[in-house]
Structure 1
Amino acid sequence: MRKIRNLMFAGIAAVSLTACAGGAGTQETAETQEASAAETQEASAAETQEASAAETQEVSVVGDTAGSYTVTDVRGEKITFDAEPQRVVTVEKPLPSIYYAIEGATDNIVGCNPSSIKAYEESVLRFMYPQLENAATDWCNTDSTVNLEELLKLQPDVVFIYSTDEQEIEKMESAGLKVVALRSAELDSVKENLQIMAAVCQEEERGEELVRLIDEQIAEVTSRLDGVAEEDKPSVIEFYSDMNVSVSQYDHWMVPSGAHNPASGLTGKKTEVDMEQILLWNPEIIYIGNHSDLMPSDLLENKQEGRDWSVVSAVANKQVYKIPIGAYRWDPAGVETPLMVKWAAKIQYPEIFADMDMEQEVKDFFEIVYQYELTDEQVSEILDNRQQ
């Protein structure tokens, strides 16, 4: 098993867009992020994130007797392990890539969500983590419903699942399985999950380093956009699927990348809209998410019957992009959110980020986070192959 004890912080300097110069620069970046968050989120959402951040700092590992240790999950439940789990099951879609960032390419994941394998087959993770192909998927549906009988056959030492799947958690715990509940959706939740999963793997320092890296790399972008007025931000929408657009679902990358989302005034995390609404918004940039079968050519070549995309600014100016897949999909909050933020910022502000080489950014990030050296062809697969 490959153990990763420390991030190569010398490498972080190589991927930095700008160096943080002293406490004043750090304070300025923090103020920028706070102001941006205040403009895009309701007070209740801010309170939720603050609570989540506080909980993230409270992730604890308590050593017990004879090498055993106890980890506290997001429910406040304490789970005791006699040794580091060797047979791991991940119920939720993005978790294999998070586990990989902590532990590297091991045989430990014996079961995962079928959608995790679909993303794996579409991503460079298939080169990085070939062992994942052997993980069983017949014990779980894509909606995270667990077939307990099939799961028990895998004899897992631990099962990672989101705390919102309460019925599945109760079912598994009643069968005597060790279940570690994680938090879903937000970037703060991803950082908390990193620390909890790292604690289970007895790699607490690794988890803390990954969290710091995520924050630092996103701050590199927000610090450059500090002087951009709200009215000067480009109008941007993301299609989650067909005509289903993000309202607040992807604020974790839209806000720090300096995007103005005209759908942000609507209710919910995402919502269905019609062509009339798109024409009213007339977005300057359109991103197509990874849960959508649409490709840029569908809009750029006006392939959809009954919809005239040619009059939309983003289409007329060929500013339609399919969001990349790295080790996992970039649009949901995840380990690679800093790359999503940088990629979008370079599209939205080509002059400000003219010196940013996304190919090198991706290579450096993967080497630091996954300790994997991408080939030029693999980088092209991430950034270019889906832009047709």
Structure 2
Amino acid sequence: MKKYGYLATLALTAMLTACGSQEGESVSKPSAESSKSEVQTTVEEKVVTDQLGREVTVPGSIERVVTGGILPYFSTWYVATNSTKEIVGMHPNSFNAAKNSILAKISPDVLKANTSFVQNGEVNVEELMKINPQLYVEIATDENSINKITEAGIPVVAVKAIDAAAAEPLATFNSWLTLTSQITGTTDRADRFLEEGKKVQAELDDKLKDVATQDKPRAMILHMHNDKSITVGGKNFFGNQWLNATGAIDVAENDVNGRKEVNMEQIYAWNPDIIYITNFTETQPEDLLKNKVNGQDWSQVKAVQEGKVYKIPLGIYRWFPPSGDAPLMLKWLAQKNHPALFDYKIEEEIKAYYKNFYEFDISDKEINSILNPSSDAAKY
């Protein structure tokens, strides 16, 4: 079972590029009155530079953090600090992923987080103040939330969603860990994580270096999906990085930048060999394999015909965006793309990783739940 180990994170470079970056103002410190009545901070403070380049004054010791539209960040905090007790509030979408994740068993404090401050998709500052956060973490593109929470006297750290300039998929998560280490002052476990990520990518690169382009599977990431809409990921999005890093060709790379809604005619034109379905949609592989989606005929697609439709796993968080399970995502994808090259048992890889990095003895049943996540994880 879980044993809390040495607190940790890292110190690298904090950079990311995402949609809609902006010049930011320095976060103003709360007045003496408001800090006493609303936002409790310690006497000691530090200044960190967030991913909009703003200098933000934060408490030297943080015990109450709220995370907003940067949905995976709560799990980054856990990877960095080995704790979720500081996460006192999070976006409902994040909470639903947490509730359906292994993190809920490893660090059950995560389920104590309050979600009431998000109402109708927006932050209600009055409800947020009731949670009494010392720090709020928000996606860098949500200028409205950043400004109104800052004006309320709460330090806001902006985090970018993806390092689109980097060719490798770990860059985003690594940058989040870097920033978290500056906030918390922790180092050890994140250093180990970075080393593991580099090692895994190097192993993949070595085995994939001689694979000819024509021998790489053509894959598609189905990001959001229902009977009325099909949204895929393409260039400058996580899926493109994952596929490139694991020996596949992204069929949408030349047609889609970021995410885009497409129709079945476009899917037919791409005709992918493999389809990966994220955890941001309730759609399961069998919905396509059994052609159960009204108004959409998936039976003509090669991936469906050959049974190569896979739901992306969910461990301590969804594996599609940045998470502490990123080295496992690399191994899982590489094996799906090139099963003859990567003959390890992914169940054993998960078991060893969770023991080594999270000090958690994961059961076979829990591993199965990671590899076959419920549709419930996408509901919010």
User: 1:13-162 to 2 correspondence within 5 Å?
Assistant: 68-91=45-68, 92-141=70-119, 143=121, 145-162=122-139
Between 1 and 2, higher relative CO (CA 8 Å, sep ≥ 6) is seen in: 2
CA contact (8 A) 1:2 1:103 kept: no
Amino acid at match of 1:174: E
Q: Which residue of 1 aligns with 2:353?
A: 365
User: Where in structure 2 are there 5+ consecutive unaligned residues?
Assistant: 10-15, 22-42, 164-168, 376-380
| Stretch of structure 1 that moved more, 83-92 or 361-370 | 361-370
Q: Which residue of 2 aligns with 1:246?
A: 233
Question: Can you list the C-alpha shifts for 1:13-32, whole angstroms capped at 9, x where unaligned?
Answer: xxxxxxxxxxxxxxxxxxxx
Pair 155,161 (structure 1): closer, same or farther in 2 beyond 3 Å: same
Q: For this pair of structures, how many residues does the alignment match?
A: 332
- Confirm or deny that 1:177 pairs with 2:178: no
CA contact (8 A) 2:7 2:82 kept: no
**Given the alignment, which residue of 364, 369, 372 partners 1:376?**
364
Instruction: Output the aligned Cα RMSD.
Output: 2.6
Question: Residues of 2 paired with 1:297 and 1:374: CA distance?
Answer: 27
Amino acid at match of 2:160: R
Question: Residues of 2 paired with 1:212 and 1:160: CA distance?
Answer: 26
CA contact (8 A) 1:190 1:333 kept: yes
| Stretch of structure 1 that moved more, 184-193 or 220-229 | 184-193
Secondary structure of 1:170 counterpart: helix
Question: Residues of 1 paired with 2:349 and 2:107: CA distance?
Answer: 21
What's the offset of the Cα at 1:111?
0.5
Secondary structure of 2:66 counterpart: strand
- Confirm or deny that 1:334 pairs with 2:323: yes
Pair 137,386 (structure 1): closer, same or farther in 2 beyond 3 Å: closer
Question: Residues of 1 paired with 2:52 and 2:269: CA distance?
Answer: 44
Q: Which residue of 1 aligns with 2:271?
A: 282
CA contact (8 A) 1:105 1:129 kept: yes
Secondary structure of 1:360 counterpart: helix
Secondary structure of 1:265 counterpart: coil
What's the offset of the Cα at 1:82?
4.6
CA contact (8 A) 1:79 1:178 kept: yes
User: 1:154-233 to 2 correspondence within 5 Å?
Assistant: 154-186=131-163, 187=169, 188-233=171-216
Question: Residues of 2 paired with 1:193 and 1:71: CA distance?
Answer: 13
Question: Can you list the C-alpha shifts for 1:240-283, whole angstroms capped at 9, x where unaligned?
Answer: 12222211221221110111111111132122222222222221
TM-score normalised by the chain length of structure 1: 0.78
| Stretch of structure 1 that moved more, 261-270 or 232-241 | 261-270
CA contact (8 A) 1:6 1:209 kept: no
Question: Residues of 1 paired with 2:4 and 2:124: CA distance?
Answer: 31
Question: Residues of 1 paired with 2:107 and 2:182: CA distance?
Answer: 22
User: Where in structure 1 are there 5+ consecutive unaligned residues?
Assistant: 8-46, 53-65
CA contact (8 A) 2:6 2:188 kept: no
Question: Residues of 2 paired with 1:151 and 1:343: CA distance?
Answer: 38
- Counting helix residues as a fraction of each chain, which structure ranks higher? 1
Question: Residues of 1 paired with 2:359 and 2:137: CA distance?
Answer: 23
Q: Which residue of 1 aligns with 2:244?
A: 255
What's the offset of the Cα at 1:369?
3.0
What's the offset of the Cα at 1:123?
1.7
CA contact (8 A) 1:72 1:78 kept: yes
Amino acid at match of 2:79: A
Pair 118,385 (structure 1): closer, same or farther in 2 beyond 3 Å: closer
Amino acid at match of 1:287: Y
Pair 308,167 (structure 1): closer, same or farther in 2 beyond 3 Å: closer
* Runs of 4 or more consecutive aligned structure 1 residues displaced over 4 Å after TM superposition: none
Question: Residues of 1 paired with 2:183 and 2:327: CA distance?
Answer: 25
Secondary structure of 1:253 counterpart: helix
- Confirm or deny that 1:292 pairs with 2:281: yes
CA contact (8 A) 1:314 1:320 kept: yes
Question: Residues of 1 paired with 2:372 and 2:182: CA distance?
Answer: 36
Question: Residues of 2 paired with 1:382 and 1:271: CA distance?
Answer: 27
